[in-house]
Structure 1
């Protein structure tokens, strides 16, 4: 294909991706589902699972192999910008006086699904072999199976909390705080997994781990003060500052990719070390454009991820695995989070709400699965199964919240005149610290 033809194909494919993904997001929001669910569904539909099956000639014409690297580049760029914003917004100070409850929920919501996922990988090796996995799973593969079940998607959870008017309620604050802490734990474990199972295997993983820890220390100790002095003290023009920070995140992502982790860790780390304003507040002139750029370009990530999802290749074993994995993912997450919330002092209905919210996976799960697939920790059929598990658990969140609300009304026996939130609990504001 000539360069001019490749540019023409790329421009046409980009137009289709942006329109289809954002149209899917709009439809999802109208159905009271997260915007991201519609985008992910559209990305899968544009891949071999739907478009490639119904009209293979059209799919090949719209997405020729030659434009794959360009689409992947856009996808990685959108991820870096998105995760830069996620890292910048991550603030565990929001725990406040609910720290004990949030920490307990985070630990339970990580440990129980992690143990269940890793245990199943060890117990059902024959079934996983039927899905294209090796007969003898590596340590990284076993650990990654646990990580895949333990993830909670903070951005999607935050959107659901906001849309259900739970932001200033006890279950909303505990869930968001616990999810932020769980994210920190999950990304750390995932980083170790990828160091062991991915990247340049010519360099021993202990050496790569030491280099990675050294890079993290350098970013926290030296780079953060430098950024504060260069970018905030000088009051740099917002557009220039945004460009420099995105360039900084891309450079950090390049380093972690070279160390055998993934671009996602460098981008997250860049956001974490990014200093806030003097009172610890977020800079709206930075957050707003980061969200605008990432939300515009994330559809490229969904489409690139969707190209590896092959529904036609799923057999009876795959569908049974999907059912089992989804049930396991929902029950372990909701059960462990609810029990921990109850032990942390929340009443039964608030604890149920926290449990349901913690089961949301969405985009964060997809990012982790994509990293594991690229590192060779997942076969294509198992990757497809886990992508659909992420979609199913996210779709179930809103119906389960409605169920929790109805159970709360049943517990009370009759509707109360007291204002309640959408989970059916008293909507009294709480101190979020």
Structure 2
């Protein structure tokens, strides 16, 4: 296939993906679900689960083998601006008087699901044998299952909080911040699982070196890049239109750094958003964030389709459905129980603690990333991959109705007639003065 043919095929596939995603996310919104649910369904629908069963295999026609690597690259690139914008929405000032909350919630919502995941890896032995052998001789599989039960989908959670206009609420900030830390720890454990996998090609960095380089990266971003960025953005005559390429380059460079450490681009983008200078309202300048957020939102469905191409629900057996019931129960119990316990230890009320536990049970996008890495590394096969994708979908679908039952946020939290997006990132013209923190300090840090 020539370069021109590849470009034509990728552009055609992208147009179909974006159009179908727009349609299904609108349906999801009308059903009271987060928009990302519609996007996940779009990814599954375009794969072998639905489109692939039609005569002539339209899935192969739309996404031929030669084109898939290029679409996958586009999917990874789309994650960077989206995740950067997600982390920019965190208002850490809410935590000023509740400093023990995040560590307690993080510990509860990470350690307990991890332990349950380890136990589950052995429990499902009669129903599933991993490609590299049973759990008792397969450390990489055990660690992978622990991570699969422990991660929280930060981007999906951010979407839910944004749509509800609750980004400034204590439960929202605690859940988002804890989820970010949980996923960072999860990537480290996942990297360790891949390193221990017998299918590894030997090109991976040793785990101690990965940890040391990662620590150095965090110190550099916080102590060097952050103050320099603050000074640059607060210089005389600074304009968002001129500085947008600098911010975009920073997000991409940070994503490259973590990808080089095999921790995935999504975490580097998250860290880049965290170090963005905030104004007196606890927000980065909207005109610097909104274009990246919109770009990521438009292209993000490409990732869901790439993930959905390995999901074949019609190929599931009775044992697979038994696995789905077991893993779904463990996933919900671990996140809800661990999140509630940690939040209560941190001093939250029962209602707020339950809200945090429910939000941390959202797995969508981050789980799909982890599952893709496990599948590509040979730790799991496509049958368990499909089961775990369904677990991610079910836990994400349950989040919205559960929060509605808990009346989160309170009806007064979103002004009448205001869009949730605007409540989080109010639009501000380039000519308006945005107070900046000259040192690039995060309020309350």
Partner of 2:297: 295
Out of 381, 388, 393, the residue aligned to residue 391 of structure 1 is: 393
Partner of 1:185: 182
- The 5 A counterparts of 1:264-303 are 264-277=266-279, 280-303=282-305
Deviation sequence 1:141-177 (CA, Å, 0-9, x none): 3223222222233443344345556667xxx522531
Q: Is the 8 A contact 1:102 1:175 kept in 2?
A: no
Partner of 1:381: 383
* Cα distance in structure 1, aligned partners of 2:172 and 2:133: 37
Q: In structure 2, do the counterparts of structure 1 residues 326 and 296 end up closer, same or farther at CA, with 3 Å as the change threshold?
A: same
Q: Is the 8 A contact 1:153 1:179 kept in 2?
A: no
Moved more, 173-182 or 281-290: 173-182
* Cα distance in structure 1, aligned partners of 2:207 and 2:100: 35
* Cα distance in structure 1, aligned partners of 2:212 and 2:112: 29
Q: In structure 2, do the counterparts of structure 1 residues 285 and 155 end up closer, same or farther at CA, with 3 Å as the change threshold?
A: same
Partner of 1:93: 93
- The 5 A counterparts of 1:4-403 are 4-129=4-129, 132=131, 134-136=133-135, 138-161=138-161, 163=163, 173-195=170-192, 197-198=194-195, 201-202=202-203, 203-233=205-235, 235-277=237-279, 280-403=282-405
Name whichever structure is richer in helix by fraction: 1
Q: Is the 8 A contact 2:26 2:38 kept in 1?
A: yes
* Cα distance in structure 2, aligned partners of 1:292 and 1:194: 30
Q: Is the 8 A contact 1:6 1:67 kept in 2?
A: yes
Deviation sequence 1:60-99 (CA, Å, 0-9, x none): 2211122212211210111111122233334443224344
Partner of 2:440: none
Q: Secondary structure at the match of 2:146?
A: helix
C-alpha displacement at 1:17, in angstroms? Answer: 0.5
Q: In structure 2, do the counterparts of structure 1 residues 252 and 159 end up closer, same or farther at CA, with 3 Å as the change threshold?
A: closer
Q: Secondary structure at the match of 2:67?
A: helix
Q: Is the 8 A contact 2:51 2:57 kept in 1?
A: no
Moved more, 299-308 or 267-276: 267-276
Q: In structure 2, do the counterparts of structure 1 residues 207 and 401 end up closer, same or farther at CA, with 3 Å as the change threshold?
A: closer
Q: In structure 2, do the counterparts of structure 1 residues 281 and 219 end up closer, same or farther at CA, with 3 Å as the change threshold?
A: same
TM-score by length of 2: 0.81
Deviation sequence 1:279-317 (CA, Å, 0-9, x none): 753211112112111100001111111112222332222
Q: In structure 2, do the counterparts of structure 1 residues 240 and 74 end up closer, same or farther at CA, with 3 Å as the change threshold?
A: farther
Q: Is the 8 A contact 1:88 1:271 kept in 2?
A: yes
Q: In structure 2, do the counterparts of structure 1 residues 196 and 206 end up closer, same or farther at CA, with 3 Å as the change threshold?
A: farther
Deviation sequence 1:243-292 (CA, Å, 0-9, x none): 23222322332333233332223322322333334775321111211211
Q: Is the 8 A contact 2:151 2:366 kept in 1?
A: yes
Moved more, 21-30 or 159-168: 159-168
Q: Is the 8 A contact 1:107 1:182 kept in 2?
A: no
Q: Secondary structure at the match of 1:49?
A: coil
Q: Secondary structure at the match of 2:311?
A: coil
* Cα distance in structure 2, aligned partners of 1:281 and 1:262: 26
TM-score by length of 1: 0.83
Moved more, 103-112 or 320-329: 103-112
C-alpha displacement at 1:25, in angstroms? Answer: 0.6
Deviation sequence 1:353-402 (CA, Å, 0-9, x none): 34323322222322333344344443322222111111101111233345
* Cα distance in structure 2, aligned partners of 1:326 and 1:108: 19
